[in-house]
Amino acid sequence: RLSEAETDIEALEKQISELTRQRDAKLVEVASLRNVLSPIRRIPVEVLSEILELSCIPEDGNFTADHDIVRYTSLLSRVCVAWRKAACSNPRMW
């Protein structure tokens, strides 16, 4: 019985070691993704708003009946809070 308990402990320690390794790998991944995303977070709302507006207008600049800018704006405003704030702050997008 003692031997069985010791074997169980060894197995659990191996699991802990593997889970710790996986956690550390995920922490590195999260830090890497934050570094990639951080420049976009520093863009002023006015600049982001202009970028979003340009992405919503038709390529030729002419609006037609089938171009629904509100639909595009609504979609972009769902990406994150910053994009929503930028989209909502630009009346030309609505």
Domain co-membership, 37 together with 78:
no
Per the CB < 8 A criterion, the answer to whether 58 and 52 are in contact is no
Co-location of 73 and 94 in the same domain: yes
Residues 54 and 34 in one domain: no
Same domain, residue pair 57 and 90: yes
18 lies in the same domain as 60: no
Residues 33 and 53 in one domain: no
pTM score of the predicted model: 0.49
pLDDT score recorded for residue 19: 98
Count how many domains the chain has. Answer: 2
Percent of the chain with pLDDT over 70: 91
Residues 48 and 91 in one domain: yes
pLDDT for res 4: 95
Do residues 48 and 92 share a domain?
yes
Q: Is 37 helix (H, G, I), strand (E, B) or coil?
A: helix
Q: Which domain holds residue 62?
A: 43-94
Residue 92: pLDDT band (50, 70, 90) is confident
Interval 36-80: pLDDT, tens: 777 777 788 889 888 888 888 777 766 666 667 778 888 888 988
Q: Which two tokens stand for residue 90?
A: 């630009």
Cα separation, 70 vs 77, whole angstroms = 10
